[in-house]
Structure 1
């Protein structure tokens, strides 16, 4: 094992960070491809090992944050569902009258308030996570290709 950092180690570390973008083409590609590259090359140099751990920890942390946002959104959606049937937003209460189905879409947007707030806040938070992912992954690719250690923000160290 060599201790000097050469161009191959820098490029491999940058590629590990870049493969996290594969999630847009391959389901769970942001975990699978970096994990394969990191596991196959982690013993070659400590720089590759450190960058592989950073990339995987950041992706796992973002997944965890996304799940927390989704779980916090569930009460808003569950509160909204009874309003559809009880207040007759789509006039579903007329199904029991046996006089025909009246699917009028006379929508009162004030009834959608709790859903819109919850989904709006969750959407903005998810958009923020998306932007953080893109920006910091690009920064990681650039910094590691230059041979500079990069540490992602908001990262929980699952792999040590």
Structure 2
């Protein structure tokens, strides 16, 4: 197989595919729409662009899947913890509301831990996107960690 030189235009397109995931901060689902539009428009130009586009899209789908799973675990625990302290028979809305902080529920710690995992995951996602963008700019292939390959 002959070695194909990766030109500056291909590097720039691959870099922008990764960076376009940040468009989610401007409009909903931008982290999917941006890379998909750039990848579909340019995937036939080179294998380099095709590989980076697939990696970016696979990573975003994987992150969405992980967030849904984490949310499915966290939200019920948060709701159970929220309603755990309420006594529905003795609610008196016209007097004062009493909040007891002396004995937090173990669910509070679990929910807080899962929230911490979500924040760390978000920060790592940003770091991996920047690393992938820099690799594309240098003409190197990049494989996101913990990515499920939906597009092969």
- So what's the TM-score if we normalise by structure 2? 0.89
Select between 140-149 and 65-74 the one with higher mean Cα deviation: 65-74
Q: State the structure with bigger RCO (CA 8 A, min sep 6), 1 or 2.
A: 2
- What residue in structure 1 maps to residue 146 of structure 2? 154
Alignment: residue pair count: 149
User: Distance in 2 between the 1:152 and 1:46 partners?
Assistant: 17
Indicate conservation of the 8 Å contact 1:34/1:55, yes or no. yes
Q: Which has the larger radius of gyration?
A: 1
Is 1:93 paired with 2:90?
A: yes
Indicate conservation of the 8 Å contact 1:11/1:144, yes or no. yes
Indicate conservation of the 8 Å contact 2:12/2:136, yes or no. yes
- What residue in structure 2 maps to residue 131 of structure 1? 123
- What residue in structure 1 maps to residue 76 of structure 2? 75
The alignment yields a C-alpha RMSD, in angstroms, of: 1.9
User: Distance in 2 between the 1:118 and 1:59 partners?
Assistant: 26
What are the ranges of 5 or more consecutive residues in structure 2 without an aligned counterpart?
Answer: none
- What residue in structure 2 maps to residue 121 of structure 1? 113
How do residues 1-160 of structure 1 correspond to structure 2 at under 5 angstroms?
3-86=4-87, 93-95=90-92, 101-104=94-97, 106-110=98-102, 112-160=104-152
- So what's the TM-score if we normalise by structure 1? 0.85
What are the ranges of 5 or more consecutive residues in structure 1 without an aligned counterpart?
Answer: none
Residues 94 and 143 from structure 1, CA distance in 2 versus in 1: closer, same or farther, beyond 3 angstroms? closer
